């Protein structure tokens, strides 16, 4: 009889929740929370910058079905940040739940809660607000040291030394370098200089922002939210409401897409305030329009690049300056900007003699920006890779060959990437394979199609990270349960990426059992072990290692109980799939029997909790090649072909790794050709 293969890692197993979602079973927040709760909506500012002189809610409060209306007079005067980041948060504490000063078109003015949506909608129209309209700061080029301050308040504060100064409209500012950039550039044969602008664009995840809140039987605020960051939500809500963190319990169900948008507390504070003030359950569901106008889009950035090279194509120096528009509030402003240089410059470590990376993140009276897939690396890589392509054009050199000459290689230290060493880097093999799959030589350079259209091919490289080194913490608890199956509890949030399945695969591999024998639970701030959350491409690498460590510890505990049942010392037994057996093979005890023993007269817990943080953040690398057709008369661009080759390490689940790549490509094409957030001269 053939031995059963228990291996799961590296196999394209189906997601654990696939069939339930495919069949439309209740899974998401609005499916699983009560319908008979207060409906919460927000009255939003029509002005980019204004002070509320008077707000009259009396007529609105008389509407049948209206339960409560709150204004800036009714909220704690304690500033906080909505960014879901590890404490101490680098994003400034610059928000109140409701503020007398409104800072963008769409900023919150009042919160209305009612028995039904119709009553709330009527009340929103009845609220009368008199504004003192102020001149806004709308051009991020003029925001720094502008006489108009977005945050003039004395209560503004920054917890981390990120170069923030509200008196200069600065959310963050820094310069770092290695080597004498100006001297090297002065000695280069070629210096390419360019300014590259990327506008804001929205995540537009299918499930909009939404949160349900209630007071539990113990008088605690119970929050159910579509969020990537349950533990950070607990801290942020406690800060905003000025209540003890022990009074807040946060959990999430399935998430209908996040892409970074749900790494910010966008909707949670409003129903939380309603419930905490009224004691009644409440729910807020953002409309699609609200997501577009009062969400957290990608940061608009302008990246200036100076690239110095020799005539043979050796890239010797890179000087990158990023101006980032954080909008009205500083969520993720100090951190996204860092990736624009730290994830672009290191791609050319091989021959680089010097680099400089500087940035300013400025406040404006635009919608507040936030986290979005790529998290600043996208903007910086676009700029640097475009400059490299311009160098190739100037030298008459194939841009693939130029990159092969200069790209970072395995074993090299990357000064611009926090001096980490590229111990796992297959970027050169990615380029070779991509060139082969794409048929680069046939498609490059430009081909005139003779009908007013031209076809051309382009190439670019990219890198990201695997969590934030020395910061992010992943944790996992695994326990043996009845009949020998395992419960895996995690604090990471599955956003549809499949992390529940991937982490279960890793647990099944370690425990030598089938995937069906691992039941996954998460994420819940009361019941799950602490986890920084699902962001920064951290879950598989950081939380996955915690799963592995927990499994090893559990095996040892199971061996302790097994040895007791076998009447022998611990040293004489080993873990063997569904059993613990004596090393001499003379006897064994099943996991089912160990589970039974653990519930009667047992002093050894058959569960283990482990945490993991990594001192390094190994980057995945990618090469992308695109073929486009351009109509020279109309400017219309059509993508004909796109090939991507990714060095992501060991794919735990090849299917999920592939669809992550495909989804990223589609979002990248959308950002490049179709999507941006555009403002009127009034800041709308």
Task: Measure Cα distances from 376 to 329, 458, 461, 568, 679 in Å.
Answer: 17, 21, 15, 58, 21
Q: What SS3 state is found at 120?
A: helix
Give the C-alpha separation, 325 to 364, whole Å. Answer: 7
Predicted confidence (pLDDT) at residue 47 exceeds the cutoff of 90? yes
Span 145-152, average pLDDT? 98
- Give the three-class secondary structure for 444: coil
pLDDT of residue 4: 61
pLDDT at position 3: 54
Predicted confidence (pLDDT) per residue in 346-376, tens digit:
999 999 999 999 999 999 999 999 999 999 9
pLDDT for 6: 73
Residue 2 scores a pLDDT above 60: no
Task: Give SS3 for 453.
Answer: strand
**Average pLDDT estimate for 280-295:** 97
- β strands within 57-93, DSSP E: 66-70
Segment 275-302 mean pLDDT: 98
Lowest-pLDDT range, 172-181, 323-332, 492-501? Answer: 492-501
470 pLDDT more than 70: yes
Using alpha carbons, list the distances in angstroms from residue 615 to 147, 343, 419, 422, 612. Answer: 42, 17, 12, 14, 10
Q: What is residue 1's predicted lDDT score, i.e. its pLDDT?
A: 39
HEC letters along 473-513: CEEEEEEECHHHCEEEEECCCCCCCCHHHHHHHHHHHHHCC
DSSP 154-221: TT-B-SS-S--BGGGTEEEEEEEEES-HHHHHHT-SEEEEEEEEE-------SSPPEEEEEE-TTS-E
The model's pLDDT over 82-92, given as tens digits with 9 standing for 90+, comes to: 999 999 999 99
Give the mean model confidence (pLDDT) for residues 265-275. 98
Mean pLDDT over the full length of the chain: 96
Mean pLDDT, residues 189-200: 98
**What distance, in Å, lies between the first and last C-alpha atoms of the chain?**
71
Of 237, 87, 92, the closest CA to residue 161 belongs to 92
| Region 232-252 average pLDDT | 98
d(CA 119, CA 68) in angstroms, rounded, equals: 11
| pLDDT score of 336 | 98
Residue 292's pLDDT is what? 96
């Amino acid at each position: 009889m053939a031995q059963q293969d228990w291996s799961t890692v590296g196999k394209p197993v189906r997601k654990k929740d696939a069939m339930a979602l495919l069949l439309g079973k209740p899974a998401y927040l609005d499916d699983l929370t009560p319908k008979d709760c207060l409906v919460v909506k927000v009255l939003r500012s029509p002005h980019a910058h204004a002070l509320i002189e008077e707000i009259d809610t009396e007529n609105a409060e008389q509407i049948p079905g209206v339960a409560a209306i709150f204004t800036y007079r009714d909220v704690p005067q304690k500033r906080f940040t909505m960014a879901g980041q590890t404490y101490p948060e680098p994003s400034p504490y610059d928000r109140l739940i409701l503020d007398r000063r409104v800072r963008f078109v769409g900023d919150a003015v009042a919160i209305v809660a009612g028995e039904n949506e119709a009553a709330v909608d009527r009340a929103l129209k009845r609220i009368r607000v008199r504004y003192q309209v102020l001149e806004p700061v709308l051009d991020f080029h003029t925001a720094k040291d502008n006489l108009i301050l977005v945050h003039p308040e004395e209560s503004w504060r920054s917890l981390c030394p990120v170069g923030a100064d509200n008196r200069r409209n600065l959310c963050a500012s820094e310069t770092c370098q290695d080597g004498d950039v100006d001297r090297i550039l002065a000695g280069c044969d070629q210096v390419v200089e360019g300014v590259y602008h990327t506008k804001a664009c929205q995540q537009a995840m299918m499930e909009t922002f939404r949160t349900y809140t209630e007071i539990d039987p113990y008088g605690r605020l119970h929050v159910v939210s579509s969020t990537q960051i349950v533990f950070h939500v607990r801290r942020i809500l406690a800060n905003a409401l000025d209540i003890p963190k022990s009074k807040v319990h946060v959990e999430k169900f399935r998430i209908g897409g996040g892409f970074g948008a749900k790494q910010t507390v966008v909707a949670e504070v409003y129903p939380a305030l309603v419930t905490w003030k009224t004691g009644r359950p409440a729910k807020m569901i953002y409309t699609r329009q609200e997501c577009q106008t009062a969400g957290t889009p990608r940061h608009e950035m302008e990246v200036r690049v100076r690239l110095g090279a020799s005539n043979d194509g050796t890239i010797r120096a890179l000087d990158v300056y990023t101006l980032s528009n954080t909008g009205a509030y500083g969520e993720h402003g100090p951190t996204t900007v860092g990736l624009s240089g730290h994830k672009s410059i290191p791609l050319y470590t091989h021959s680089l003699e010097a680099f400089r990376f500087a940035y300013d993140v400025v406040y404006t009276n635009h919608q507040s920006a936030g986290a979005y897939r790529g998290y600043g690396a996208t903007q910086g890589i676009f700029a640097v890779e475009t400059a490299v392509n311009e160098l190739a054009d100037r030298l008459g050199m194939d841009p693939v060959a130029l990159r092969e000459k200069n790209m970072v290689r395995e074993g090299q230290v990357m000064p611009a990437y926090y001096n980490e060493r590229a111990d796992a880097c297959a970027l050169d093999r990615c380029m070779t394979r991509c060139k082969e799959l794409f048929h680069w030589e046939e498609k490059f350079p430009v081909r005139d199609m003779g009908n007013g259209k031209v076809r051309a091919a382009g190439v670019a490289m990219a890198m990201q990270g695997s969590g934030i080194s020395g910061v992010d913490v992943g944790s996992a608890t695994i326990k043996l349960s009845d009949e020998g199956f395992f419960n895996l509890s995690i604090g990471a949030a599955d956003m549809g990426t499949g992390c529940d399945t991937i982490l279960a695969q890793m647990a099944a591999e370690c425990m030598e059992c089938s995937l069906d024998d691992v039941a996954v639970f998460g994420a819940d701030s009361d019941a799950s072990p602490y986890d920084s959350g699902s962001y920064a491409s951290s879950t598989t690498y950081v939380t996955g290692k915690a799963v592995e460590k927990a499994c090893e510890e559990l095996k040892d505990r199971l061996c302790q109980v097994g040895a007791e049942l076998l009447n022998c010392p611990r040293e004489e037994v080993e873990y063997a799939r569904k059993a613990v057996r004596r090393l001499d093979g003379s006897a064994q005890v099943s996991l089912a029997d160990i589970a039974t023993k653990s519930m009667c007269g047992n002093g050894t817990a058959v569960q283990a909790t482990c945490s993991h943080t990594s001192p390094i953040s190994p980057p995945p690398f990618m090469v992308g090649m695109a073929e486009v057709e351009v109509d020279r008369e109309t400017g219309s661009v059509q993508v004909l072909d796109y090939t991507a080759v990714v060095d992501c390490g060991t794919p735990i689940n090849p299917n999920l790794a592939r669809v992550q790549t495909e989804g990223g490509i589609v979002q990248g094409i959308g950002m490049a050709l179709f999507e941006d957030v555009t403002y009127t001269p009034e800041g709308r």
